[in-house]
Chains A and B, each alone.
Chain A
Amino acid sequence: MGTAWVPLALTLKVAGWATLLNLVLGVAVGFLLARKQFPGRDVLDALLTLPMVMPPTVLGYYLLVLIGRRGPLGGWLDATFGIQLIFTWQGAVIAATIVAFPLVFKASRAAFESVDPQLEQAACVLGVPEWAVFLRVTLPLAWRGVMAGLLLAFARATGEFGATLMVAGSIPGRTQTLSIAVYEAVQAGQDHVANSLVLITSVTCIAVLLIAGRLAPGRVAGQF
C-alpha cells in the first residue's frame, strides 16, 4: 500500500525530533538534579516525572488548554508570532517530547549519579575547565545509561497516541502518525489498510531494537 509509508515517515520524523529535544533537555536536567543540591530538588524531580505517570489523554488535555489558540501560551504565540501549534506536526513533536521526557531525564540522572565525583575532581585539578570536564569525563562515563533512556524515549514517542491525537489531530500527511492511522483504519472498517500499517509498525519496532543492540557504545574498559 503506497499510502501506508506516509504515516511511517511522519512517525519517524516526529519521534526523531522529540528524541533530539529530549537529548538536550533530559541530559541537562538529569545532570542538574544529579549534581546540584537545592531546596525542593525532590519535589522538582517528582513534577518532572509526572508526564510518565499521567494518562496521555490528561496530558493531552493540559497541553490543549495551554497551547491552544485560546490558551495562555498558545494565545501569546499566535498574537506575537502568528504561530499555531494545534494540528501541526510541531504540536505532535511537543506532545511526544513531553510524554517521553521522564524516560531520558531519569535515566540520565541515574547515569550521572553513578559517575564518581572524584574523577571529575581529578580532571579539574589537572587544569581542565568545568564544561570540558563534563564533555570529556562525565558524559562519556554516563553515556550508556543516557543512551538506554534515549532508546526508550524513542520507542515511547513512536507509539504516542492519546496526547498526540488531542493536540495534533489526525491529519493525513501532517499529523496522522502510525498509531493514529491504525486507529482510523479500524474505525472505518478498512481492515486491509490496518493490517499493512500494523505490519509496518511491527517491522519498524524490531528494526529499532536491532539497531539499539548494535549501537551499544564501543568497548569501554570496566562496567559503569
Chain B
Amino acid sequence: MPVPLSRIAVPLAAVMLSWQASAADLTVSAAASLTRAFTELAPLFEAQHPDTKVLLNFGASGALLQQIAKGAPADVYASADQASMNQAQSQGLVRAAERRNFVSNSLVVIVPAGGTTMPKTLQDLLGPAFSRVAIGQPASVPVGRYTKAVLEKCGLWAAIEPKVIGAQNVRQALDYVARGEVHAGFVYGTDAASMPDKVQVAFTVPTEEPVRYAVAPVEAGPNAAAARRFVSFLLTPSAQAVFARHGFGKP
C-alpha cells in the first residue's frame, strides 16, 4: 500500500536536514591505526562529559591533514608521526601550545597467517618469495614514511620499490596481508595484534626515529573547550590503560 507523502514528509525532512553537527559535538580526526583504541575510548569520554558527543574520523595522517588544511571542521587532530603534526603546526592549523605526545608504537613486518615462508630480516624481503609487499604510501601515510626511512638507511629501498603495493592507510596494508593478496607488509605492532588469526608477525623493525603519536586541538575547530578536555583525557591513566591493552607503548 503506498505510503501517503504526508506521513513520511516529516521524518524524511528530519533525516535530510540532520547533516548539521550540533554545537556539543566533538570531531576527532585520528590516524587509522588508532581506530580500535579510540572507538573504545570515545564512550568513556562521553560518560565523563555527558553534554559532548564524539564523532570519529579515521584515515591516513596525511589525508586528514589535507582535509583540515582545506577547512574541514575537525576539533582534534591525532597523527601517527611527528612529521604530520609538524606540518600541521607550520601551517598554523593546530594550537601548538597544547600539542602533546600521547602513545608510541612499533613497526613490524607481517605475513599472512599460515604462510610458508617467514622472513627473518629486511634482506629476506628481496627474495623471490616476496614478490608483493604492502607499504603505506609514503607521501601521505606515516607508516609508509617510517618504512621508507628504514629501508633507505639500509640501502634496500630501490630494490624493494618495484615490489611495493601502496596502501591508502595502515589498515589497508593490514587488510592486503590478511587477504593473502600480498606476501608481506609493514604495519604497526598494534595493527598486527588486532588480527592474530589472519596475520603473523615476522619481526620488529627498528626505526630511525621512535614511532610517537602526537595530538593537538585544531586552531579553527568549532569546539575548542571540549577539544582541550579530550587531549588531557588521552593522557589520563585510565585512557593509557586502554592504549596499553591494544599494544601501544608509553609516549
| Minimum C-beta distance from B71 to chain A (A) | 14
How far is B66's CA from A3's CA once the two chains are assembled, in angstroms?
Answer: 22
CB of A169 within 8 A of chain B? yes
| Minimum C-beta distance from A60 to chain B (A) | 13
Name the residue of chain B whose CB is nearest to the CB of A191: B66
Which residues of chain A from 157 to 201 have any CB-CB distance to chain B below 8 Å in the complex?
165, 169-172, 184, 186-190
Total contacting residues, chain A, CB less than 8 A: 17
Q: Mark B170-196, 1 if CB is under 8 A from A, else 0.
A: 000000000111000000000000000
| Minimum C-beta distance from A68 to chain B (A) | 6
Given contacts A87-B132, A87-B165, contact A187 B66 (CB under 8 A): yes
CB of B101 within 8 A of chain A? no
| Minimum C-beta distance from A172 to chain B (A) | 8
CB of B63 within 8 A of chain A? yes
Question: Is A189 in contact with B62, judged by CB distance below 8 angstroms?
Answer: yes
CB of A70 within 8 A of chain B? yes
Pick from B69, B140, B180: contact of A184, CB under 8 Å: B140
Across the interface, which residues of A come within 8 angstroms of B181, CB to CB? 68-69, 86-87
Question: Is A187 in contact with B60, judged by CB distance below 8 angstroms?
Answer: yes
Total contacting residues, chain B, CB less than 8 A: 17
Across the interface, which residues of A come within 8 angstroms of B63, CB to CB? 187
Name the residue of chain A whose CB is nearest to the CB of B70: A186
Pick from A68, A170, A171, A188: contact of B179, CB under 8 Å: A68
How far is B66's CA from A184's CA once the two chains are assembled, in angstroms?
Answer: 11
Across the interface, which residues of B come within 8 angstroms of A87, CB to CB? 132, 165, 181
Across the interface, which residues of B come within 8 angstroms of A186, CB to CB? 66
Q: Mark B150-186, 1 if CB is under 8 A from A, else 0.
A: 0000000000000001111000000000011100000
Pick from A68, A69, A169, A188: contact of B139, CB under 8 Å: A188
12 new A-B contacts at CB < 8 Å, known A64-B179, A69-B181, A187-B139: A68-B181, A69-B180, A87-B132, A165-B168, A169-B165, A172-B166, A184-B140, A186-B66, A187-B137, A187-B168, A188-B137, A189-B62
- Name B residues whose Cβ lies closer than 8 Å to a Cβ of A: 60, 62-63, 65-66, 69, 132, 137, 139-140, 165-168, 179-181
CB-based closest 5 A-B pairs: A188-B139, A187-B63, A188-B140, A187-B140, A86-B181
- Name A residues whose Cβ lies closer than 8 Å to a Cβ of B: 64, 68-70, 86-87, 165, 169-172, 184, 186-190
